Structure 1
Amino acid sequence: LICGVQQATDPALQVLDALQRQHPQLPLHWRLHDCRLGSNPKVNNLAGMSDLGLAPVVVIQDADIAVGPDYLRRVVAALEGPRVGLVTCLYRPRPDRHFWSSVLAAQVQELFLPSVLAANRLGPTIYCAGATMALRRDMLEICGGWRAIADSLADDYALGARVRAHGKEIALSNYVVDTQVMEASFRAFHRHALRWARTTRSVQPLGHAFSFLSYPLPLTMILAPWLGWGGWILIPVVLTLRLVYHRAIAKLLKNPLPLAAVLLGDLLALWIWALAWVSRRVYWRGSDYAYDSHGRMRGGDGVQR
């Protein structure tokens, strides 16, 4: 288990120290470093901790992911396929007590995840999420290592694209990880949702352009005045179908979310979709970044917080 820290004041150091004291037998290694390969702070951290050495199979996770005891076994087993170059996972959002956390969780669970599954049914998997990326070390090296994605806004997508470019496939594991959603205010929610939308736009502009079609409730409300009496009748019909869909998703993922957060998340999704086209700037963990038409980042200090 390899962890990287880029600041001596990072509270993660206290957690690592506690883990080492409580579980001295655990093969836990961590490194405090100042590696700067590019503008992406997450990739800089991965590169810095990799100096400790990588195992034949590398499993990468975002910092907000929680898994069970059979996670590694199931994810690594999916790498055994002869055509598989990388394994990734869907993620179940687990919001904290703040309302805006539930709104963002609702957008992930009820808008984003179904679109991933639908796309996966229609063609080869291009989805690749930082929630889990498992690949062999030699595959990572063939793809150019961390340096190849050091300036990528969508580093997970970029790594997956390189794997596919070398003739390998991305496999979607049947293991669903949990991701912690912590948005204490509307501003925090808005920044996070907008970064996700602009990241999607940077790598799949056509897909993002048509994604508004997956927001039927706000679209119906906007179009109703121009559709006559039929438009007003359509609103309760769409709302009823949306509620049925909401209950089905919550039951499937065993993750019920507040209905108010779900409906507000739907309405705000169209607003976020539109704002994604306004500029090429994102706010990520305390820093502002710009990105170009190829999704290359610039700005910030390159430090993961």
Structure 2
Amino acid sequence: MATAIEVITALLTLGGLVYLLLALWGARAFAHFWRGRVSSEFAPDVTILKPVKGVDPRMYAGFVSHCRQVYAGRFEILFGVSSLDDPAVGEIERLKVEFPAVAIRLVVCTERLGTSGKVSNLVQMLAAGTFEHVLINDSDIAVTPRYLATVMGCFEEETVGLVTAPYLGKTAERGRGLTVWAKLEALGISTDFLPGVLTARTLEGGLRFGLGSTLAMTRTALEKAGGMEALVEYLADDYEMGARIAAAGYRVELCPEVVETSVPGYDLRGYCVHQIRWARSTRDSRKLGYLGLGVTYAVPWALATMVASGFALWSFTLLSLVLLARVAVALSVGVGLLRDGQVLRDLWLLPLRDLTGLMFWAWSFAGDTVVWRGEVFRLQDGRLEKV
């Protein structure tokens, strides 16, 4: 039995090592694809949809970054709220005063069309938009002045139906918001999540899904994919939107423009709630791929191999190789591609990040409930059911 366990953990470790090498290859392929490309001058008029609920500490700064775009085409920003009593309304009115030259509109979404309040609002906001090209991102996303130019330039190729963007999670710089759990969340985004996306892009010959940080599309592609209304019951609406547009025959492009999302100052409970929702959402979206996700956590498997082998010398060699590959992925993707300096600050937390990642992967199979914005739902094949 002891030998069998040793063999199993060693094989899982080797599988994880192969994955890390694939992630490095995926990062190299992505960087090579965009290196030396001339920025496109294609700048179609675009409607930006931002569903909001409540006020986050960095939300207004993110709003401002969208208003300061260096963009040749026209753009409008539509903010969607479920009620005029939402505290975000005051911030939107403040934004209108600060940027009178930007076309900013508030859309009050009074109908609840499905269990996903966010997608329900998006359906109503989309109907109020003006232009053929549409861009959706979350309320806390902050962008560079070249964001629209880079994202929308990808549509110069007519085969592109959806453009998405990599992102990093920004923690508080100091104070109570800079918890170890917030650091683990940000570290996971830059050194775990995006390497997985790049690996999928390489193995599948392109992306077949979208990322919620940026979902830019044409109305034509969205309609051919079934429309926004078809997503009102889904938690992972970003994944579904990309998957459906790809299935409709369009290309999903991952552009090189990096955006920032805000990471709250999680306590342990908040971190666990968010991670398990993320894990179960991914489990329901990519069932076969998610089964293999457990193998990718090479560091915990290498540690388990050391214990199972009685701390044999060869197991230390294997652990050293795994740690070298894991750090290489973190630096090449987190620092090299995302320019996320927080990765260097928190590099020592990588083993803990991988241990918790493996734990949440296993825990995700133990149930179907998720907590989203204070509401409890049951997931059934990616669809939300109110508990």
TM-score when normalising by structure 2: 0.73
Change (3 A) 1:142 1:259: same
Q: Is the 8 A contact 1:100 1:261 kept in 2?
A: no
| Equivalent residue number for residue 181 of structure 1 | 263
Contact residue 209 and residue 246 of structure 2 kept, 8 A: no
Of 292, 296, 301, the residue aligned with 2:383 is 296
User: Which of 60, 76, 89 in structure 1 is aligned with 2:152?
Assistant: 76
Q: How does 1:121-160 map to 2 (within 5 A)?
A: 121-122=202-203, 123-160=205-242
Q: Give the secondary-structure state (helix, strand or coil) at the position aligned to 1:298.
A: strand
Map of 1:246 onto structure 2: 330
Higher alpha-carbon deviation: 256-265 or 173-182: 256-265
What is the aligned-residue identity percentage?
33
Pairing of 1:1-305 with structure 2 (within 5 A): 1-96=77-172, 97-122=178-203, 123-228=205-310, 229=312, 230-252=314-336, 253-256=338-341, 257=343, 258-292=346-380, 294-299=381-386
Contact 1:280 1:290 in 2 (8 A): yes
Residue 223 of structure 1: how far off its partner (Å): 2.6
Q: SS at 1:276's partner residue?
A: helix
2:272 aligned partner, one-letter code:
H
8 Å contact kept, 2:195–2:329? no
CA distance in 2 between counterparts of 1:236 and 1:271 reads: 22
Greater Cα shift, 207-216 or 229-238: 229-238
1:50-103 C-alpha deviation (Å, 9 max, x unpaired): 342341100010122111111111111111212111111111221222321110
Deviation at 1:133?
0.7
Q: Which amino acid aligns with 1:276?
A: S
Give the C-alpha shift of residue 250 in structure 1. Answer: 4.0
Unaligned runs of 5+ in 2: 1-76, 173-177
For these two proteins, the number of residue pairs brought into alignment is: 299
SS in structure 1 at match of 2:103 = coil
Deviation at 1:33, TM superposition (A): 2.4
The CA RMSD measured in Å over matched residues stands at: 1.8
Alpha-carbon distance in 1 for matches of 2:240, 2:325: 36
Runs of 4+ more than 6 Å apart: none
The 1:219/1:285 distance shift into structure 2, 3 A limit, reads same
Match of 1:303 in 2: none
The TM-score, its normalising length taken from structure 1, stands at 0.92
Which of the two has higher C-alpha Rg?
Answer: 2
Look up the equivalent residue of 1:177 and give its one-letter code.
Answer: V
In structure 2, give the amino acid aligned to 1:134. Answer: A
The offset of 1:212, in angstroms, is: 1.6
Give the letter aligned to residue 202 of structure 2.
R
Give secondary structure in 2 for the equivalent of 1:65: coil
- Tell me, in whole angstroms, the C-alpha distance in 2 between the residues paired with 1:10 and 1:259: 39
Query: In 1, are the aligned partners of 2:211 and 2:238 still within 8 Å (CA)?
Result: yes
Q: How far has the Cα of 1:264 moved from its partner?
A: 1.7
Q: Give the Cα separation in 2 of the matches to 1:159 and 1:31.
A: 22
SS of alignment partner, residue 128 of structure 2: coil
Instruction: Name the SS of the counterpart of 2:134 in structure 1.
Output: strand
SS in 2 for 1:277: helix
Deviations 1:250-285 (A, max 9, x none): 431221331343332111000011011111111111
Matched residue SS, 1:159 = helix
